[in-house]
Amino acid sequence: MNSIVINVGNSNIRFGLFNGDNCDISWVINTKPYRTADELYVQMLMLYQTYKIEPKEIDKVIIGSVVPQLTKVMSSGIKKIHGITPVIVDRTTPSGVQAKSKQMGTDIYANLVAAHNLYPNRKKIVIDFEQLLQPAV
């Protein structure tokens, strides 16, 4: 089964093509919060052509986003390309992990779920450095 996992962050949108648990291809584009569904559709198709990805071979698309205005746009572009509704990951997504903070971003929640599944029955500290590593402009 092939899946595309998309992380929509404040600075970048990261894509990963997974075959099971293996990430075969990944790429990054800049986050532009007012991009239209058509712009994302064209950009994604160009990247698919570059990496020789056939949209019909993708069984599942998963989106995690901390940019709400892009979540619907990204979802619309995915539906147009793949003909499937993507799974939108947020704090309400069933996972076996209970978020204790209502302010926790989707990105940190997804990291917490990953840590929970990778290291069961162990205490964990999850730190996300995306914004900390961005140079101030």
Beta bridge partners of 43: none
Q: How many residues does the chain have?
A: 137
Catalytic residue among 21, 24, 107, 128: 107
Beta bridge partners of 22: 19
Helix (H) or strand (E) holding 70: helix 68-82
Please choose, from the candidates 125, 101, 96, the residue with its C-alpha nearest in 3D space to the C-alpha of residue 113. 96
| Residue 59 is a catalytic residue | no
Adjacency order of strands within the sheet including 58-65: 22-30, 12-19, 2-8, 58-65, 87-89
Q: What does the block give as tokens for 84?
A: 């499937």
Tell me which residues are annotated as active site: 107
